[in-house]
A = this chain, B = another copy of it.
Amino acid sequence: MAKDTKQRILAVALEMFSQKGYAGTNIRELTASLGLVKSSLYRHFCSKEEIWNTLLDEMTAYYDAHFGSAEHLPPVPDSLEEMVTMTRRMADFTIHDKNIVMTRKLLVTEQFRDARAQQLATKHFLTGLQDIFTPVFAGMVEKGLLRREDPAMLAFAYTAPITALIHLCDREPEKIPEAAAQIEAFSRQFLNNHKK
């Protein structure tokens, strides 16, 4: 239970920070939910803030590993309907993956109090998706699926509304089915509007 406990602490911390915020989380409750006593935590972390920093480190590493290199870029679809399907699949994943949901919540709630959270928030919610989708749209233009327009602007206009609905799902999970349908409807309408 050596590194195991450390990882379990981080998992619970992510959960609590994302629900009640950093300031609203206390380490007694945190350790108690692991069957530990608060002093045990200090065998693994020297302070509450170190837990926070470690979580941000992990987020940064995870993000870079999954979205940082060109090899992880989604393939350029061969049809508009394939793009709709890919979008739905990506949205479904990011809406339902618990760790990703908690990470988003944490970045949302702490973005004004922590400079690193602020940077990560902009990456996760705005520029990151743009960077991923810009080459996809460029490829679709090259394939003659879409009219020739600025791919970066297309990516922005495409991803921002979807991100807004993902945020809605984080806030009101009972609206997930409705939001998922809206994402698909928007996707189809958007692509139709820009098709060649």
Which chain A residues have a beta carbon within 8 Å of chain B's beta carbons? 18-24, 105, 108-113, 118, 121-122, 125-126, 149-150, 153, 156-157, 160-161, 163-165, 167-168, 170-172, 182, 185-186, 189-190, 193-194
Contacts and interface: CB of A to CB of B under 8 A. Distances in A.
Contacts of A125: 164, 167
14 contacts: A19-B112, A19-B113, A20-B113, A22-B24, A23-B23, A108-B112, A109-B109, A109-B110, A118-B172, A126-B165, A149-B193, A157-B157, A157-B161, A164-B164
A156 B157 CA distance: 11
Contacts of A190: 157
A37 to B, nearest CB: 23
Contacts of A168: 122, 126
A177 B110 CA distance: 24
A19 B114 CA distance: 10
Contacts of A161: 156-157, 160-161
